[in-house]
Amino acid sequence: MAIIEVGDLSKTFTVPVREQGLRASVRSLVHREMKEVTAVDSVSFTIEAGEVVGFLGPNGAGKTTTLKMLSGLLHPTGGRCSVLGFEPKGRPSALLRQITLVMGNRNQLQWDLPALDSFELNRAIYRIPRADFVATRDELIELLDIGTLVTQPVRNLSLGERMKMEIADALLHRPQVLFLDEPTIGLDITMQRRIRSFVADYNTRYGATVILTSHYMADVQALCKRVIVIHHGRLVFDGDLTALSDRFTTQRTIRARLADGEEITILAARADTASATARLLAEHDVVDLTIEDPPIDDVIEQVFADAHDAP
Amino acid sequence: MIALYAAHMRYSVLQQFQYRAANYFYMIGMIAEPVVYLVVWSTIARAHGGSIDGLTPGGFAAYYIVWTLVRNMNIVLTPFAWEERIKDGTFAGQLMKPVHPIHEDIAGFMGWKLVVLLLWVPIAIVLVLLFRPTLSPTLLQGVVFFFAIWGAYLIRAIMQWSLGLITFWTTRVAAIFEAYYLSEMLLSGRVFPLVLMPKWFQTLTWYFPFRWSFSFPIVALTGPIEDRDLFIGLGMQVAWILFGIGVLSLVWPRAVRRFSSVGG
């Protein structure tokens, strides 16, 4: 069943334009020049219940704008979208009780109080029955390993610890749909791994649908079978992560270790991989052989480059 | 809704206890304004043979000491705060909650007032000892005053919240807000008791919300005021609150549609 349906979704912002300098400043008092910027341009996709989908694109591609439209923060200027059967732009309370938006660079917790106090406030806001609240809170504390941190003022926590608190706070009402906008931004490798494993765990336990944006390909590889790539507001790819590599890369890397200890690396055209491998095996005494797709970062870079070159 | 308000108030009290020193300095600073008015008007009263329009130095003292309580009670989210909360992403966070964000602000400031009231008591005692107010309210005045200070708070909270929404249309809002505050200063009874003003000026103040969020609660307690006028005053407060809710329900959906969430 499709949980999220998006059809020709568009968002255009009207922004003021002003050249630098005093003259331009004075002129803008009388006449303010405006221009339209298209952030999202006729994007369409559907997402099924329980899917974890990576939403990829360079800065300014329109990822966050799309997430904000899906969560009801922004009103689309064209097309349509529905989440859990609701139109998000009216921000119906029944929808907001079932979704959450976590932004990696934003702090929603009160700085000077322990996170437990913020959790308690969210209990009242979402009208969570006390028993359910305690069960979910304790489960999240355990899953995120934040038992010793929830009683400390948020300002005393590290960035990674704060992020875990933000995530716990955002999930107390057990949302069915999670919009995670760069949840691991600025975190060290260990903390990134912990957040990733938590998201995977949450998805498995509750069957939650997750849309994740991240510039760290490790996040996407660890969590998302399917990716949607957006560039200049347009959807350029929607499919399996593996298919992304097949479609956008022309070469694979063949590495061989020979009996005498020498290592050989060959870049072969994707279509010629089998014949190049056969040739290598026939011509050398190979003891170990690997065939690799290019790193996903390189694939994504290639996707963006192709999209940029496209008319 | 009661549970929600109680939770927000509790949260706000916890927060404000973290800032108790800052709150106390704020209170002391805030006292300076009415003390200046009080000294000036008391001096003028003495120069005019002991009273002006029936207000003696003791009457002025009562007016301005009650002023300090009413002022603390009617402090609300300033419209200037909107730009910042949009920029730092706080507003986006509020929009993601399944309740109208105005409730968080109204309940939050209500909680803040509970802390401020505690801090206000010793300051009020010092002011009473220094300026010897003449104050003998009836029971009815006391009861009406209790409701009137909350009415005053709601009028200011809803009006200034609605005013802050102009931020969604233009970033050049400071001049509009300043004009609003100037009008409030003159027409509310903040600088001078309205009874000292000409009749036409007093009549003019009826057509603005300011009198009902400042002068009315003060005079309800200090008098002189007829019982009938106490009820008319409460009625006017209810009318302005309903008017504010009407304006807000018209403006809010349009404002939120213009939200561009640039800050997060």
- Averaged pLDDT in 10-residue chunks for chain B of 264 residues: 88 82 82 89 87 88 93 90 85 91 93 88 92 92 96 95 89 83 92 92 95 96 92 97 96 89 56
**B183 near A CB under 8 A:** no
Per-residue pLDDT of chain A (311 residues; tens, 9 = 90+): 789 999 999 999 887 777 777 777 777 767 777 888 899 999 999 999 999 999 988 888 888 899 999 999 999 999 999 999 999 998 999 999 999 998 887 778 888 889 999 999 999 999 999 999 999 999 889 888 888 999 999 999 988 888 889 989 998 999 999 999 888 887 788 888 888 888 898 899 889 999 998 888 888 888 898 999 998 899 988 998 888 777 777 778 888 999 888 888 888 888 888 898 999 888 888 899 888 877 777 777 777 777 655 54
Is residue A109 a contact partner of residue A115, using CB atoms and an 8 Å limit?
yes
> What's the pLDDT score for residue B222?
94
Q: How far is the C-alpha of B78 from the C-alpha of B23, rounded, in Å?
A: 17
Among residues A169, A167, A201, which one has the least CA distance to residue A184? A167
pTM metric for this prediction? 0.83
Which residues of chain B are within 8 Å of residue A93 when distances are taken between CB atoms? 98-99
Q: How far apart are CA A273 and CA A254, in angstroms?
A: 8
The per-residue pLDDT for A311 is 46
* Contact assignment for A125 to B3 by CB distance below 8 Å: no
CB atoms within 10 A of CB B133: 21
pLDDT of A88? 94
The answer, for A35 touching chain B at a CB cutoff of 8 Å, is: no
Nearest CB to A105: which of B10, B15, B264?
B264
Instruction: Using CB atoms, pick whichever of B15, B98, B260 lies closest to residue A93.
Output: B98
The nearest CA of chain A is from the CA of B39 a distance in Å of 39
CB A285 within 8 A of CB A259: yes
> Which of A73, A93, A113 minimises the CB distance to B261?
A73
Of B8, B15, B261, the CB nearest to A74: B261
B8 touches chain A (CB under 8 A): yes
| pLDDT of the residue at A15 | 79
**What ipTM, to 2 d.p.?**
0.84
- Alpha carbon of A43: minimum distance to chain B alpha carbons (Å): 19
Q: Is A139 on the interface with B (CB under 8 A)?
A: no
CA dihedral of residues A175, A177, A179, A180 (deg, nearest 10): 70
Q: Is the dihedral of CA A133, A138, A141, A142 positive or negative?
A: negative
* Chain B interface includes A1 (CB < 8 A): no
Contact A176, A205 (CB under 8 A): no
